[in-house]
């Protein structure tokens, strides 16, 4: 299962106190997709303090989550 076929999950944060809850939920969704195939890790991209995108990435080892920040 190539990770390119999985649609990214976008997280929009309107309440800063919920940031970790929303990111944890999105990460759990992607983990459930990757688990049966053990195919990819998760890349979290911070676009700004209120917008994040999570995707499965073949460049990240299965079971790991990494973050990148766009300026």
pLDDT of residue 4: 54
pTM, 2 dp: 0.88
Domain ranges within the chain, ordered by starting residue: 3-69
| Tokens standing for residue 52 | 């994040």
Q: What is the pLDDT of residues 11-50, one digit of tens each?
A: 999 999 999 999 999 999 999 999 998 989 999 999 999 9
For the segment 39-48, what is each residue's pLDDT rounded down to a tens digit? 899 999 999 9
For the stretch 6-10, contacts whose Cβ atoms lie closer than 8 Å and that sit 24 or more positions apart, written own/partner, are 6/30, 6/33, 6/55, 6/56, 8/53, 8/54, 8/55, 9/53, 9/54, 9/55, 10/51, 10/52, 10/53, 10/54
């Amino acid at each position: 299962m190539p990770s390119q076929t999985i649609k990214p999950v976008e997280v929009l944060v309107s309440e800063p106190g919920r940031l970790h809850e929303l990111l944890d939920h999105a990460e759990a969704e992607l983990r459930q997709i990757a688990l049966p195939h053990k195919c990819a890790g998760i890349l979290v991209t911070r676009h700004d303090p209120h917008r994040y995108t999570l995707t499965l990435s073949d460049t990240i080892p299965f079971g790991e989550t990494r973050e990148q920040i766009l300026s």
